[in-house]
Amino acid sequence: MTAVNLLIKGGTIVNPKKQQHEVADILVKDGKIAEIGQNLSADGAEVYDATGLVVTPGLIDMHTHLREPGQEAKEDFHSGTQAAAAGGFTRIATMANTKPVVDNAALVRGLQKQAELTGLVKVEFIGAVSKNLEGKELAEMGDMAEAGVVGFSDDGHYVESAAFMRRALEYSSMFNKPVIDHAEEVSLTHEGHMHEGFVAYEMGVKGRPAVAEDMAVARDLLLAQMTGGHIHIAHVSSKDTVDQIRAAKAKGIKVTCEVTAQHLSFTDEYLREYNPAFKMAPPIRSEEHRQALLEGVKDGTIDAIITDHAPHAEEEKDVEFCCAPNGFSGLETSLAAVLTHTYKTGILTLDEIVNLMSVRPAEIMGVDAGVLEVGKTADITVFSTDEEWTVDRNLFYTKGKTSPFDGMTLTGKAKLTVVDGNIVMKEGVVTQ
């Protein structure tokens, strides 16, 4: 695909790495940023009027499930990256829990080629920690690191053996890659379907207690301290976990973490109607936990906001609450949810949001992104902070149409997504 010359005019550039927050133009030539400044012009360039809009480095989601290989009925690289482009993301990372599991370099390389051929945005791969996610034998971490994975995770499964997690951290640190930890002590979450608390008791639903996450995180922080490895706690949901990570960072332990847009937006009160769209792991918790998460993103304890985009076929989710699998499609609503529930409420500034949704994910994954700079690849997101829209899951690009945001009115919307200088989404329409 040949990159067109593009001039994005008059938008407010929010570019935290350069401490830039001003109205300016960006000129893109041959897939790179050629100029950033006032009153730019360019003969023959496509002009996009960004007046009243926000222009940022391309958004990055470091935690998605694209389901390819093996579960293409739920999602594939094409549909998943279409959804990413629609949501304003220029780069996403996909987890290893596919069929077969991404636990060897040959598979990584094959999937990278496939994603390049069929994907609209950049796809990074996270390799498994253990072969077949069984927690018994280390996956080919060195070979996969060489092939270009950005981290290792058995996401969806907790690494139950402390000795195994120790080895994984020791090994991954040799390649300077994080181990991304789905921290939930299994013996406490077994057969649980939502947050264990007052609402679950009233509903008569078996819960997953917050302490299951707290215990798992406590163990893995100690192991990270012992090994010097980089632990990244996935989808933090618990107040005590936030406190633990805050304290661990103060001690110099190599830990980073992330939170989903849905855990910042909802509480377990939303589950009272037994709607499977709200069912996820870890579960949405009480208001006390939500407030702690908001505090964590505000003070920098939490490094990244992610979607945990987990599409399912309609017939899988459209069942009784307790029978439904965890997860839903989040790429097309995440930015709007974050703007609605943190920016419009005065909790986060735009600079903080761009830091959480672009700068830090790029740093954690070790990819050259998250900044608008002359000479750099033109991965750019333009969004509105004021546009109100009602989520209609039937209009999603993802194959997985389940969303807890369905029917809700959100404020803020991605308007333009540019990858390598190419427009892949404009005014809500994905270009390919």
Task: Give the residue numbers annotated as catalytic, written as ranges.
Answer: 308
Distance CA 84, CA 263 (A): 19
SS3 breakdown of the chain: % helix, strand, coil, rounded to 5?
A: 35, 25, 40
Pairing of β 6-15 and β 20-29: antiparallel
Distance CA 423, CA 410 (A): 24
**Residue 148 main-chain phi, psi, to 5 deg:** 110, 15
DSSP state of 338: H
Distance CA 183, CA 276 (A): 22
8 A C-beta contact, residue 214 and residue 238: yes
What is the Cβ-side half-sphere exposure of residue 101, based on CA atoms within 13 angstroms?
20
Helical spans, DSSP H, in 228-349: 239-251, 261-265, 287-299, 314-317, 334-338
Looking at the DSSP assignment, which residues form a beta bridge with residue 92? 61, 123
Q: Give all strands (DSSP E) within 166-245, no chain letters.
A: 179-181, 194-195, 207-208, 231-233
Cβ neighbours of 272 (radius 10 Å): 11
Residue 249 amino acid letter: K
